Amino acid sequence: MSNAKEYNMEYLMQYLDGEFSTAENMQLESDLSNNIDLQNQLSYLRMAIESVKLGGLNARIATIADEFRNEKPEEAPVIKMKKTRTVSYYALRIAAVFLIAACSYFALLYTTVSQEKLFAEKFVPYEIPASRSGAHGTDLEIFYTQQRFDQVLSLMYPLEDRTQKELFLGGMAAMRSGKPAAAKEMFEKLMEENNKSQDFVYQEDADYYLGLTYVKLGEYDKARNLFLHIEKDPKHSYHSQVSSMDLLKLKILSWKK
C-alpha cells in the first residue's frame, strides 16, 4: 500500500494495536517517513484514542471549540504575519479540525456501540447445506433443521462422543437457544478435536460463530482475535462477514467493559 490516502482510521488502529504483519509495518513506516500528513494523521488518531479512553473527550472538544468561537481576526491579521507563521497558523487549525473530527467519530462509536447491536448485526442463523446433510440426516440433523434445539442439545453429552459436525450443530443450537456458555463449550471442543485430528472440519464456521459467542459473553478480546484472523484471510469462508469496522467496535467494547 503505497498511497497514504488508502489508510483509514480503522486500518491505522490495527497498526497502533500492533496487529500488522512485518511487511505491513514496513510499508506503513516507509509511507510515514515520506509523508508528513500521514504522520500527523497518526498522531491525531493517538490523541483521539487517548481522549476517549481517559474520559476527557467532551472537555477537550469544548475547549477547542471555544477557542475557535472566541478567536478575533483583527488580533492576528494574516497580512501582518510572516509566511512561516501563516503556514503554522493554518496548520494548527487543520490539526484542530482533524482532532475534533477524530474525537467526534470515536465519541459517536463509543456511545452507540453495544454488545447487543453488534451481535444482532453479525449473527446469521446457520442452515445445513444440502451437500453436507446428505439424503438422510441423523436425528440430530433432523432436529436442527426442524429448529428443535432443545432436542439437539439433549443428544450432545458427553461431548467426547460427538463428531465435529455434531459439535458444531450443537453449538449453533445452543446459540439459538440463548445458551452462549454451552455454545462456547461445544465450539471450543470442536476446535480442540480439529487440532488433534488436523482435519479442520467445520473450522471456518466455528471461527466465526465462536467469535460471536465470545461477543455474547462479553469476551471481546477473544472475539477480536478470531475476527482479526478472519479479516486478514481473504480466502476464509467468512471473510466478507468481518470488516475493520467490526474490529474497531470490538476494541471500543473492550474499553467500555
Tell me if the pTM is above 0.85.
Answer: no
Q: Quickly list H helices, the chain.
A: 9-16, 22-34, 36-54, 57-70, 83-112, 115-122, 130-133, 139-145, 149-154, 164-176, 180-197, 203-217, 220-232, 244-256
Using CA atoms, how far residue 86 sits from 66, 78, 81, 99, in Å, is: 21, 7, 6, 20
Residues 6+ apart with CB under 8 A from 185: 159
Collapsed DSSP state (helix, strand, coil) of residue 115 = helix
Q: How confident is the model over 84-122, as pLDDT tens digits?
A: 445 455 555 565 666 666 667 667 777 888 999 999 999
Residue found under cell 483509514: 8
CA proximity to 37, closest of 10, 60, 66, 12: 12
Distance, CA of 191 to CA of 226 (rounded, Å) = 12
Q: How many CB atoms lie within 10 A of CB 249?
A: 25
Query: According to the model, what pLDDT value does residue 83 have?
Result: 45
What residue ranges define each of the domains in the chain, with the CATH number in brackets? Answer: 4-111 (no CATH), 116-256 (1.25.40.10)
pLDDT tens figures, 155-185: 999 898 899 999 999 999 999 999 999 999 9
- Between 202-211, 212-221, 240-249, the lowest mean confidence (pLDDT) is in 240-249
Look at residue 257 in the predicted model and tell me its pLDDT. 77
